[in-house]
């Protein structure tokens, strides 16, 4: 279900865990179906940990809404780099945009969270993409650079 035909305005805003959680949970199945690397595990978010990060000013949740309906989100964790303690870094924990809205709001949501974090003194924002649906071209167009490759192994 898209935006109404009369009002097609996408808004970007910062929200709290408790503001976004009811709407966010409605997207978890589609998000999980599309990109989960470990299908044997179901989504079971540690919301208390998110709230603790938020209380410590270490969490940024940016949302994209169309007619107030959540259509995308980016959740970043803020901290200092262990090698350069004066460097404030944002690391994307989750990002998802409904497929029908990706072309319309991926840039807007990314620019919004970048500006929000720059205003918070963040020097570097990192994000990841899955090999199965890599967004390399998108992030390159947004002037992100490959700084490392992440490898995983099931033990």
The pLDDT value recorded for residue 93 is 93
CA separation, residue 77 to residues 116, 130, 133 (Å): 13, 19, 23
CA separation, residue 17 to residues 8, 21, 73, 76, 115 (Å): 25, 6, 12, 12, 20
Structure tokens at 80: 């200092």
Long-range Cβ contacts of 49-53 (<8 Å, 24+ apart): 50/17, 50/75, 51/17, 51/18, 53/77
The pLDDT value recorded for residue 38 is 76
Catalogue all structural domains in the chain, each as residue range(s) with its CATH number: 10-141 (3.40.630.30)
CA separation, residue 26 to residues 33, 62, 83, 91, 155 (Å): 13, 16, 38, 23, 31
pTM passes above 0.85: yes
DSSP string of 127-149, one letter each residue: ----GGG--HHHHHHTT------
Digit-by-digit pLDDT tens for the chain (155 residues) are 556 555 579 999 999 999 999 998 888 777 777 666 777 877 788 999 999 999 999 999 999 999 899 999 999 999 999 999 999 999 999 999 999 999 999 999 999 999 999 999 999 999 988 776 678 889 999 999 998 888 888 89
Looking up tokens 């090999």, which residue turns up? 131
The pLDDT value recorded for residue 148 is 85
Structure tokens at 7: 């009002």
The pLDDT value recorded for residue 151 is 84
């Amino acid at each position: 279900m898209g935006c109404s035909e009369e009002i097609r305005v996408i808004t970007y805003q910062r929200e709290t865990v408790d503001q976004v959680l009811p709407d966010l949970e409605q997207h978890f199945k589609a998000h999980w179906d599309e990109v989960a690397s470990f299908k044997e595990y179901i989504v079971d978010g540690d919301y208390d940990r998110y709230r603790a990060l938020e209380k410590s000013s270490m969490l940024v949740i940016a949302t994209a809404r169309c007619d107030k309906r959540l259509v995308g989100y980016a959740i970043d964790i803020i901290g200092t780099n262990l090698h350069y303690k004066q460097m404030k870094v944002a690391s994307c924990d989750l990002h998802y945009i409904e497929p029908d809205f990706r072309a319309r709001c991926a840039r807007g949501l990314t620019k919004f969270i970048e500006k929000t974090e720059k205003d918070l003194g963040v020097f570097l924002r990192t994000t990841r993409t899955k090999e199965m649906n890599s967004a390399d071209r998108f992030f390159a167009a947004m002037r992100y650079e490959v700084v490392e490759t992440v490898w995983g192994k099931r033990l």
